[in-house]
Structure 1
Amino acid sequence: MAHKIERKLLAHITKKYPQPLCEMFKTKPNITLNMRTRNKEEKKLFQILSQLPSWGVGRLFTTCDDIIHSAPTFWRITRVHADLKSPNMEYGIAWGIKTLNGRNEGYEKEIQDGNENLWRLIPRHEEESYLEYEPQSAETHQVPLYVPMPPLMAMLESQNDKCGEDQEPMIKLLIKRGIHANQRQKLPDGSVI
């Protein structure tokens, strides 16, 4: 009985998938002309790092995706752990400080796409122009630090009588700030944070 079910199942699978599944997944992806030229021009990060003294620590790298930006986007390599068992030491983990659109992020983080064919070494004579770039100050919007409470909350607040009758109850407005945020708040003393 079990053999009949197995045979029917195998017949259904071979009918639906005439070629073995393991061979179906081994097929090569369609490689476009753009991918071929990219693989010739760009290299993996560790293909470049393995040829540099001290594994390229302190050098600047950019990706082919970052070249299209008007402001420089690049990485300064800070640490490298190469996989010494890989052929030609082409794999590993690298850390660096990223400068995105001319603004330095200021902290070290792991480079995620190190094993992709998209890296270029910035020559030493061009490093100065990348490092001296002054980003334009972004347009900022002033947001108030305190806003009036919604009516229902104000009514509850007046019942608790925490604020005087002559003052309108206010609530502090919290804004999530990041290095690229363009909102600033004005403190009661007039300083902008």
Structure 2
Amino acid sequence: MTSNEANPTTGQVIVITGPSGVGKGTLLRQLCSQDENLCLSVSATTRAPRPGEIDGQHYYFVTLEKFRTMIAQGELLEWAEFAQHYYGTPRAPLEMLIHQGKDVILEIELEGARQVRTTYPDARQIFILPPSMAELERRIRDRGQDSEAAIARRLARAQTEIAAAAEFDYQLVNDDLHQSLQELESIIAQCRHP
């Protein structure tokens, strides 16, 4: 019996992964704005806030020392290092939302998704793919946030991540935003009623 069968008001954990620049954030913002029972988990990170980011809404911005304490005290469901910063999912807020019956999306990196398979084996996992590496590079460059060296690192990491797409329950190519959003809505519906 899964945890959802034991308590029908318990929400579902849905993991969404894909390379940096693939459009996960854009898809998820639109999806969550249309579905009041769907919410994004807020991750903790050691990186500095980007312009417009609000602590506790976009991320919990913490020091490296605080992040290490969270790891040591088992306060993170998963964590990983990416682009020279640490990211992780605080366990307590996620569990509170699930017990309120919310379906919680974790937008996390490949390493974190693999960790969640151990901690939440009932979680459904979705991998977002780019239509091509050339398009992925264009999207990363269009954001205007990264140096040439950072772009090269992101693209190299994307190759590794894309090679792991078959590990996931669902794969979705984000080519056309409207079509991809419809496909993601359909996948989420399947995740809620496996």
Shorter-chain TM-score: which interval?
Answer: under 0.3
Q: TM-score, normalised by structure 2?
A: 0.20
Q: With a CA cutoff of 8 Å and minimum separation of 6, indicate the structure with the bigger relative contact order.
A: 2
